Amino acid sequence: MEVKIGVQHAPREIVLESGQSVEDVERLVSDALAGKTQLLTLEDEKGRKVMVPTDKLAYVELGAPTVRKVGFGAL
């Protein structure tokens, strides 16, 4: 699933493909915004972690689960 994170005072958003479920990401974002943690930490499909200070979050946009396309197209 594609996750876009807006950070205050940053010209670009952070975009990552996460292997985590929508429910897991929603829970992590909710916990961060409720003040339970000081960092929003998400992991992408390659195992890299993205950490954003909670007080700098502008928005988090969750996309639909990514469907991998397999096959060949005819020209």
User: pLDDT per residue over 14-61, tens digit each?
Assistant: 999 998 888 999 999 999 989 888 999 999 999 999 999 999 999 999
Q: Which long-range contacts (CB under 8 A, 24 or more apart) does 24-27 make?
A: 25/1, 25/60, 25/62, 26/62
Tracing tokens 């990401």 back to the chain, one arrives at: 25
pLDDT of residue 20: 87
Q: Write the single-letter amino acid at 1.
A: M
CA–CA dist 8, 18 (Å, integer) = 22
Give the pLDDT band (50/70/90) at residue 65: low
Q: Does domain 2-62 have CATH number 2.30.30?
A: yes
pLDDT of residue 64: 73
- Taking the CB of residue 29, how many other CB atoms lie within 10 A of it? 19
Question: 24 phi and psi, to 5 degrees?
Answer: -65, -45
